[in-house]
Amino acid sequence: MAKKKKFDTNPLDPTFPEKIKEAETVVLPKNQFKTSEFSPPSVTEEETRRFDEANFNSYQSAYNGQTVPAEYQTVRLADAHKTTPLKNSKSQLPERWLTGLPYVPFYVGLIAGLIILFIVPKSETKVRFHAAQGVAAHLAILIVSAILSGVGNVTDLADVANWIFTLVTTIMLIIFAVKAWQGKGIHIESVDDLTNWLEEKIKPRN
């Protein structure tokens, strides 16, 4: 017969409940500490103010869709493109005219750009840049046209090329003039050096 182990019990043994009762019962000690309670929340906000009928009627009459506070009034489209004349300048033309005129074809832009460079102060960098760039573009076109005209004395093909070049550059200058008048940026990279030289060397006459 096999030796009975210490904890070998048979749950079907009718004496099993009594054996369990005889087992040592461990009693846990009572908790000596009490659960701390949270303090009631402090009132940090004022009670929501009731929006009575009188306030509602005054608000509705002031903001009925017709009256808009001054800080929220939008600029009218008719006034969006209005510009004032430049400060400290002999010219009374608005800025958008001064930036667009140097690109007008047929020598108009060349003369206008030179005049602007002579009368507009150095502080007006945007206007002077467009004036110098317009003059530089006109000078570059005149140089290329002169070369093509000289070659045209030898071959008729150069005359056709000169006519096409004049047509293309005229359209290009018109587009530049419109964009400058609208306030859009224009950059002719091929005449950068000449533009910087003209803007630096031509100083306004006081």
Residue 9 has pLDDT above 60, yes or no: no
Q: Quick check: is 196 in a domain?
A: yes
The Cα 161–Cα 197 span in angstroms is 29
pLDDT at 20: 66
Residue 100 has pLDDT above 80, yes or no: yes
Evaluate whether 144 touches 115 at the Cβ level (below 8 Å): no
- Supply 121's token pair: 């102060």
For residue 80, what pLDDT band results from cuts at 50, 70 and 90?
A: very low
pLDDT at 11: 56
pLDDT at 139: 96
Residue 165 has pLDDT above 90, yes or no: yes
By residue range, what is the domain housing residue 116? 94-200
Q: Quick check: is 2 in a domain?
A: no
Q: Quick check: is 10 in a domain?
A: no
Which pLDDT tens digit goes with each residue over 101-149? Answer: 999 998 999 999 999 999 999 999 999 999 999 999 999 999 999 998 8
pLDDT at 45: 53
As for how many domains the chain has, the answer is 1
pLDDT at 144: 93
* Segment 1-23 mean pLDDT: 60
Q: Quick check: is 21 in a domain?
A: no
Higher model confidence: residue 199 or residue 158? 199
For residue 76, what pLDDT band results from cuts at 50, 70 and 90?
A: very low
Q: Quick check: is 144 in a domain?
A: yes
